[in-house]
Chain A
Amino acid sequence: GEDVEQSLFLSVREGDSSVINCTYTDSSSTYLYWYKQEPGAGLQLLTYIFSNMDMKQDQRLTVLLNKKDKHLSLRIADTQTGDSAIYFCAEIKQAGTALIFGKGTTLSVSS
């Protein structure tokens, strides 16, 4: 497909793990990104992964990359209410310059 695709909603309980999935478009994309947007705010870079990596871990965050399937996932361990936000997957296509975003996944964490 031509779009970066994400599921739109995810609801978890506090303390559980959250997994947000993304399918991107360009197998030549060199960097893939996860951004977080809190209500009323701009986007903040959470983490990124280089295309020659399969996995990247950063504290509670784990990014998994499956290049064959063009699938990216973000796992948040021990999800907290403060993790409630919209999470965007993004890529820079090989021939492009700008970030191309998915529609975003709204994560809702209940206590």
Chain B
Amino acid sequence: DAGITQSPRHKVTETGTPVTLRCHQTENHRYMYWYRQDPGHGLRLIHYSYGVKDTDKGEVSDGYSVSRSKTEDFLLTLESATSSQTSVYFCAITYDRNTEAFFGQGTRLTVV
């Protein structure tokens, strides 16, 4: 398995609270991504990073922010969680464009 660790694996939080999910890689890959997976929608890109401090928005970025201060860590923050952000969140990494994407095991987030 590629060295990708997501934490936490499960979290239940209350509406309006901030939440940070962490993705840690040991592969020294340049690109890192956050996706959310919802029934009927497949995987949708939230944000991605193409290097330290270099990030860009994806398809469903509203309500989310990211930070990448080190190559190995990519953080996803929900500033004020809402019930619509209940989902399974996946981190992925690629060495470069057009190379295989490796996925973490996912974080199941429930906002009550």
Binding site for B on A (CB under 8 A): 30-31, 33, 41-45, 48, 88, 92, 97-104
- Tell whether, in the assembled complex, residue B42 and residue A88 are in contact, meaning their CB atoms are under 8 Å apart: yes
**A41, B42: Cα distance in complex, Å:** 14
**A98, B101: Cα distance in complex, Å:** 9
29 A–B contacts, CB within 8 A, in A order? A30-B98, A33-B101, A41-B106, A42-B103, A42-B104, A42-B105, A43-B43, A45-B100, A45-B101, A45-B102, A88-B43, A92-B97, A92-B98, A97-B31, A97-B48, A97-B56, A97-B97, A98-B31, A98-B45, A98-B58, A99-B45, A99-B92, A99-B101, A100-B45, A101-B42, A102-B42, A103-B42, A104-B42, A104-B43
Question: Across the A-B interface, how many residue pairs have beta carbons closer than 8 Å?
Answer: 49
Chain B's closest residue to A29 (CB) is: B98
B74 within 8 A of A: no
Name the prevailing secondary structure of the B interface residues: strand
By the criterion of a CB under 8 Å from any partner CB, how many residues of chain B are at the interface? 24
Binding site for A on B (CB under 8 A): 31, 33, 35, 40-45, 48, 50, 56, 58, 90, 92, 97-98, 100-106
A103-B41 contact in complex given A30-B98, A43-B90, A97-B97, C-beta closer than 8 Å: yes
**In the complex, what residues of B have CB within 8 A of residue A44's CB?**
103
- Tell whether, in the assembled complex, residue B33 and residue A98 are in contact, meaning their CB atoms are under 8 Å apart: yes
